[in-house]
Chains A and B, each alone.
Chain A
Amino acid sequence: MRPSQVILELTVLALAIFLGFEVISKVPTLLHTPLMSGTNAIHGIVLVGAILVAGIPDQATWVRIVSLAAVALGTLNVVGGFVVTDRMLEMFKRRESGPGRNDT
Chain B
Amino acid sequence: MKRLAIIGALVVSALAVAVYRAKLGAEETQGRIDELKAQVAEEEKSIAGLRADEAVLTRPERIGVIAQQQLGLQPASPGQYTASEALKQKLGEEKITLPSPADTVQAQTPAQTPGAKSQQQ
Do the two chains bind?
Answer: no
